[in-house]
């Protein structure tokens, strides 16, 4: 009997360990008013990769939500100047998708006025209008969707602003990408499709 147990133990020592659960990159914005989590769309691979890259480089960690308008958007990242997004590290070609629209909680890429509709790699916004902002469809790339924290965005767009829609008290950004499993996402109310 002891030899049989040793033989079983020996055989099981060569079995493969369980495969780790697949994880998904999730956008995370931490502010003094609360946190926001959003799905990053595979259908917009260049914008998704850009967001992940800049978040991992802590690009936004010294920046703020620099434009907030109730019933429109909360916008953050590099400042929008009359000359355009002068501080953007690069521009991205548009990735418009018919199935991905400017609904409440959509995360889109900001841009200045340019004929190619190139997105600024450094600028993003979150649609706060509960009816959506469909006039932006096929003009600005949507690359994510908030699934937790829209109450935070609703609070952010309600702060007092100056004449350029900049909050009087800066709302600092702490932008990250966290990796969550489908089970962890389900606990947060998001079902992976």
Residues 122-170 pLDDT 10s:
899 999 999 999 999 999 999 999 999 999 999 999 999 999 999 999 9
Cα separation of 65 and 143, whole Å? 18
User: pTM of the predicted model, to two decimals?
Assistant: 0.88
Q: The tokens of 57 are what?
A: 């480089």
3-state secondary structure of 122: coil
Q: Helix (H) and strand (E) counts for the chain?
A: 4, 10
pLDDT bracket for residue 84 (50, 70, 90): very low
pLDDT in tens, 24-37: 999 999 999 999 99
* In the chain, where the domains are located: 21-187
**pLDDT tens-digit series, residues 8-63:** 566 555 666 678 899 999 999 999 999 999 999 999 999 999 999 999 999 999 89
CATH class of 21-187: mainly beta
How confident is the prediction for the chain on average, in pLDDT?
A: 90
**Residue 14 or residue 84, greater confidence:** 14
State residue 54 phi and psi, 5-degree precision. Answer: -70, -35
Other beta carbons within 10 Å of 34: 14
> Would you say 54 and 122 are in contact if contact means Cβ atoms under 8 Å apart?
yes
Q: How confident is residue 90, by pLDDT bands cut at 50, 70 and 90?
A: confident
Which pLDDT does position 15 carry in this prediction?
61
Rounded alpha-carbon distances, angstroms, from residue 175 to 26, 53, 142, 190? 11, 11, 18, 20
Cβ distance 97 to 137 under 8 Å? Answer: no
Distance of CA 77 to the CA centre of its chain: 12
| Residue 81 CA: distances (Å) to CA of 26, 66, 148, 164 | 29, 11, 31, 11
Q: What's the half-sphere exposure (Cβ side, CA atoms, 13 Å) at 164? A: 9
């Amino acid at each position: 009997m002891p030899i049989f147990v040793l033989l079983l133990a020996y055989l099981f020592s060569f079995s493969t360990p369980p495969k780790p659960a697949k994880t998904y990159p999730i956008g995370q914005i931490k502010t003094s008013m609360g946190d926001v989590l959003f799905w990053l769309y595979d259908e917009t691979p260049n914008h998704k990769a850009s967001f992940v890259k800049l978040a991992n480089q802590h690009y936004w960690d010294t920046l703020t939500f620099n434009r907030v308008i109730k019933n429109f958007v909360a916008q953050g990242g590099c400042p929008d100047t009359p000359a355009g997004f002068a501080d953007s590290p690069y521009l991205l070609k548009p990735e418009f998708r018919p199935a991905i629209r400017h609904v409440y909680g959509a995360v889109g890429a900001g841009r200045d006025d340019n004929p190619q509709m190139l997105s600024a790699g450094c600028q993003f916004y979150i649609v706060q209008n509960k009816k959506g902002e469909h006039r932006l469809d096929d003009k600005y790339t949507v690359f994510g969707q908030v699934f937790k924290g829209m109450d935070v965005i609703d609070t952010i767009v309600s702060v007092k602003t100056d004449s350029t829609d900049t909050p009087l008290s800066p709302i600092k950004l702490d932008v990250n990408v966290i990796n969550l499993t489908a089970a962890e996402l389900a606990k947060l109310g998001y079902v992976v499709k």
